[in-house]
Structure 1
Amino acid sequence: MSKGILLLSGGAKVALARILNQSARKRGFDLHISDSILDVPTRLIADRFIQLPSFESKAWIQALGDYISENEIKLLIPSRHSELGNLAAHREEIESTGAFLALSSRDAIDTCLDKWKTYQILKKTEIPTPDTLTSKGFSPDPKKSYISKPRFGSASIGVRSVEGTSPPNASETESLTQEIAPGKEFTINAYVDHLGQVISAIPHERLVTESGEVVQAKTKRIPLLIETAEKVVSAIPGFYGPINIQVFYDEANNSCQITDINPRLGGGFPLAHQAKGEFIEWLCQENLDQRELRPFDRWTDNLLMMRYREALFEIQ
């Protein structure tokens, strides 16, 4: 039996699965992909596919551990935001099977999943971020514009404009109100090695999005954004592997403000990969080849990504 790499919750992430397939093939590994739904596109990319219980099920971790043990999985790569907390909480149990979980520390995960904690640590370390309030503390400046967003959430789900000076209709634990930052929206895809150093940080401008995921974007070599990624990694100990940081960049003032930090592969990662930010290969080099990494800044600037719909077919 070949050793394997497991992509968790592959869903429709076909571009990511194909990148993983290249690194697996290079080492004679099989690519395994899981999801809680059987008929997902990445099932047709995988060498082996496993339908696991939902991460909310008590049976999820046991089923995952059993599959890892039975199939000699050596590297486990998360991709779904909602699963990160459970994975971090069960890291010891998962890694006792012999697989390495490519995920930041539990403290780093907890900080990033809770947007109020993220805001507090950014303010404490003087990293620019828009003014953010809990519903209980809502006291807006009538000259400014605000959005309401879930305290725990991702992919722009539940984000809406706040009208007037009335607080959003949500409890303190459910919703935050954040000032709308000036400038254009960027993502910084960064890779952090086992020593906690940023190997590479690759900003891209989010030109067009659909349902919170980027469909058109362009890499931009903006020193301030690269420096900001390094400051974030220094401010929040425990990051490892791929992370993505959401920022608004005001070109006129050369300033930026961070709105979200996601300790996982982002939806726009294929652009960073095509720009020579080989995060998946670096994960494999560190954890399967036992190689140390060196900082890399020779990525391709001004690379445009344009996504389109593609179909996969299977006779059932």
Structure 2
Amino acid sequence: MKKSNGLKVVIASAAHRAHYVEWFKAALRSEGIYGEVIAFEYRDTAPTLSMADRGVVVPAYNSPEYRNEVVSWVRRESPDLFISVNDYELQVLAGGLAEELREGGCTVAALDADAQNIVLDKHQMAARLRDRGLPTPATWLGSETDMAKAANSDGRFIVKHRFGSGSDGVRTATDETLQAMVMESAKAARDAGGKPTTLGEDAVIIQTLLPGAEFGVDGVFSLDGTGGLNGALARRKDRMRGGDTDVATTVAANGFTQVLVELGDLLKPVGPIDVDFKEDTEGSPQVIDINPRFGGGYPFCHLAGADVPAYIVRELAGLADVRSLLDYEVGVTTARRDEFSVLRASASERPARASEEIQGHA
């Protein structure tokens, strides 16, 4: 059972994702759990800093100071849960930082290094999924255009960044345009750490273009790191905007759960992960991407009745398992919208910096 001073939930790289801050705060209230939600961000103008119970400005995940400041803060504050919603910060966590934070009893929603490499490198991911017999489209490196064209009689392809986030570098191509699309996509490609890459054409991948509907599916896994699947939530992506789902309709998740069970065994996720599927010509869903975090599509299921934050805080608090919190209404169509938030009332009021908090409690 949780210690008497309440639960502390940290949402890192919170940025503009205010809904997660609001929903975790609401979850603590609805479940009768004393605690606070703390937002971490490197930009002091991020709206989530003022919306959280506490906003803490930390160095950017790729700065030299990031690791030490986060470790010092976590050791002093002893949070119960550390969640990041940034793909590249998850890479830093998987590189040993998560294990360091866990030493003090904090649950960190991050994969280990091997599993993180699988989901980060889309070429390796396709190979590992095929090895386990899981459905995924045929995949080649950008330098293998001739091989791709010889193997794909349909002559239609999708090109995207090998280490990309969201829809980075996505291009559609035919036999005639494939080489040009690979070169164009590679110009903006980045490496595994989010920096400009030297891999050239091999910084992108080529896949068979799947013609069917696309789905986003959340697998909700146990926080103990065993990879046990507690529930699944799914929606059909009806329209995209800027690489994110703009309009989606909730659907039953039973057609995706067996793949999620297999992914749990392969990756041993902690908490929620987001898996993208696309249907092939026969209507069979194929795995096209895996994000080991709350995905951008979860809100569509939340607004249809699911409450993963409440499910998570109950698990953290050692309360009884309530699977009904993962239920939602099928057939609900929701559209994404923009909102505005007041950051602070005057220039003298600003979020505390992690280093200042540490000094203030020394």
Q: What is the TM-score when the length of structure 1 is the normalising length?
A: 0.91
| Partners of 2:304 and 2:115 in 1: CA distance | 27
Give the gaps of 5 or more residues in structure 1: none
* Equivalent pair of 2:101/2:108 in contact (CA under 8 Å): yes
1:199 aligns with 2:203: no
Pairwise CA distance, 1:70: 2.9
Query: Distance between the aligned counterparts of 2:282 and 2:18, measured in 1?
Result: 38
- Measure the CA separation in 1 of the matches of 2:113 and 2:167: 23
Q: Select the structure that is richer in helix.
A: 2
Q: Any conservation in 2 of the 1:196–1:238 contact (CA below 8 Å)?
A: yes
Which residue matches 2:210?
Answer: 181
- Would the alpha carbon gap of residues 249 and 226 (structure 1) be closer, same or farther in structure 2, given more than 3 Å must change? farther
Letter in 2 for 1:27: I
2:275 paired residue number:
245
2:26 to 22, 25, 29: 22
Q: Tell me, yes or no, if structure 1 residue 6 matches structure 2 residue 10.
A: yes
Q: Which amino acid aligns with 2:211?
A: P
1:138 equivalent among 145, 152, 165: 145
Query: Which residue does the alignment assign to 2:160?
Result: 149
Structure 1 residue 292, shift from structure 2 partner: 5.3
Match of 1:52 in 2: 58
**Deviation of residue 142 (structure 1)?**
6.1
Bigger CA radius of gyration: 2
How far did residue 229 of structure 1 move? 2.6
Alpha-carbon contact 1:286-1:293 (below 8 Å) kept: no
Secondary structure at 2:255 match in 1: helix
Against the structure 1 CA distance between its residues 79 and 220, is the aligned structure 2 distance closer, same or farther, given a 3 Å change threshold?
A: same
The answer (yes or no) to whether the contact 1:200–1:295 under 8 Å persists in 2 is no
Question: How much is the aligned-residue C-alpha RMSD, in angstroms?
Answer: 2.3
Partners of 1:37 and 1:108 in 2: how far apart?
29
Q: Does 1:230 align with 2:261?
A: yes
Asked whether the equivalents of residues 224 and 254 of structure 1 are also in contact (C-alpha less than 8 Å), the reply is no
Q: Give the partner amino acid of 1:22.
A: A
1:166 and 1:207 map into 2 onto residues whose CA distance is: 27
SS at match of 1:280: helix
Within 1, Cα distance between the matches of 2:320 and 2:292?
22
Cα distance in 2, alignment partners of residues 266 and 223 from structure 1:
19
- Percent identity of paired positions between Structure 1 and Structure 2: 23
Partner of 1:191: helix, strand, or coil? strand
Contact 1:213–1:267 under 8 Å retained in 2: yes
Count of matched residue positions in the alignment of Structure 1 and Structure 2? 314
Partners of 1:291 and 1:109 in 2: CA distance:
30
- What TM-score does the superposition give when structure 2 sets the normalisation length? 0.80
1:4-153 equivalences under 5 Å are: 4-25=8-29, 26-89=32-95, 90-139=97-146, 140=149, 141=152, 143-153=154-164
